[in-house]
Structures are given as structure tokens and as C-alpha cells.
Amino acid sequence: DIQMTQSPSSLSASVGDRVTITCRASQGIRNDLVWYQQKPGKAPKRLIYAASSLQSGVPSRFSGSGSGTEFTLTISSLQPEDFATYYCLQHNSYPRTFGQGTKLETK
Amino acid sequence: EVQLVESGGGLVQPGGSLRLSCAASGFTFSNHWMSWVRQAPGKGLEWVANIKEDGSVKYYVDSVKGRFTISRDNAMNSVYLQVNSLRAEDTAVYYCARNGGQIDYWGQGTLVTVSS
């Protein structure tokens, strides 16, 4: 199984901050990676697919990069609505595996 | 508008069974793989299973193999998850989701609680 190691597990930041979350795959997954945002009590929402493609309707302050084993999600200027938990998902092989999540909290 | 609506969750005793359903609308259901993903209370997301457009191919996470069965009815625009031999660790919100890899849309989930 491919292990997805997401870091940090939690992050305190302020509105306007630039934030970066990392996912590392235990083996190469090309660009078969998706990023999701989840708010409490809600279903996840796709932000980025194919590692760096922005989902339609998602603000351009979100961006993704990486290929192979290391991937990043960057929020260029945090907005109040961005405080949530973020997950990566690899879909290169079975079983599909998620990172353990990064909880983004207000400082 | 893509909509996925799950149903069938509830409280069940260890060893019991449930059939989870997901009704899809707003897209051509038969053109998409479908997935189930679960989330235990306060925990992260865990992929459970997916099924090919025509139902001919299915994949499962090891922890549910032999106990859970994914199926679909393209005429009814629905996907199902039969969950048998339930354990306490299966307690979770079960989400139906579109696509087998690049999951894009999710339902709101149905809660399965396994407890005596």
C-alpha cells in the first residue's frame, strides 16, 4: 500500500498568512494526487486535482504543486473561510489512500 | 447540479448488517466509477471501495474484504454498499462519491454506528 504522510498535522495561522501543507508518498505516484478541504460536519470539497489543477470555482489563492513523491498545497493569503481540515488523496494505485489530515486553526 | 444522497445508516449490533444506498442525479451515472469513503468520529478519511461504470470491476480496502460488497444499478442511478459482520471499528460516516480516482463530488454521508 502507498502511505501518504501529510504534514503538519495541525497549523495555527492568521488571516493573510501564506500557508503550505505537504504530502509525501511512500512511492512515486506521478501526479495522481487530489487535495480536499473539509469543514466540521460537512463532506469534503475538492480543491486541486492532478496535483496542480485548480477545481472550477475554487479561489485562485489555492494552488498545488509536485510530482512523484512530494506534493504541496499552498494558500497564498488565508481568508476566514479557509480554516478547515485539508486532506490529500493518492489515486495511483489500490487501495486509494488519504493523508491523515492537516487541521488549520486560527492563531 | 450533481447530487449524491446516501441513506440506510443506523445503529446496529456487532455482527449485524446494513445496506447503504446512494441515489445520484445531475450527471450521467453510467459514465462514472463510484466510490464509498468513510470517516470514523473525529478521525480522517478512509477509502472503502469503488466500482466501475458497468459494475464489472470492484476494489476494496483490505479491512472490509469479505464483509462489504459494493454494487450498482445504472437503471436506478444508484450505488450500494452491503456491510456485513459489522465491528465497532466500522462505526463511521459513510460517504458516497463520484469517480474511482479523482473523486470530485461527495454526498453528505450516512452514519453507521456499531454498538451493543
Give mean pLDDT, residues B58-66.
Answer: 98
Does B104 reach chain A within 8 Å, measured CB to CB?
yes
Confidence of residue B101 (pLDDT cuts 50, 70, 90): confident
B51: pLDDT strictly greater than 90: yes
Nearest CA in chain A to B41: A41
Q: Is the peptide bond before A80 cis (omega within 30 degrees of 0)?
A: no
For the stretch A54-98, pLDDT in tens is 999 999 999 999 999 999 999 999 999 999 999 999 999 999 999
DSSP state of B68: E
User: What is the pLDDT, as a whole number, of residue A64?
Assistant: 98
Mean pLDDT computed over every residue of chain A: 97
CA distance B87 to B68: 12
Q: Of the candidates B44, B61, B104, which has its C-beta nearest A95's C-beta?
A: B61
Cell representation of residue B27: 450527471
Give mean pLDDT, residues A4-28.
Answer: 97
DSSP state of A65: E
User: What is the pLDDT, as a whole number, of residue B100?
Assistant: 75
For residue A29, give the nearest of A66, A55, A57 by alpha carbon.
Answer: A66
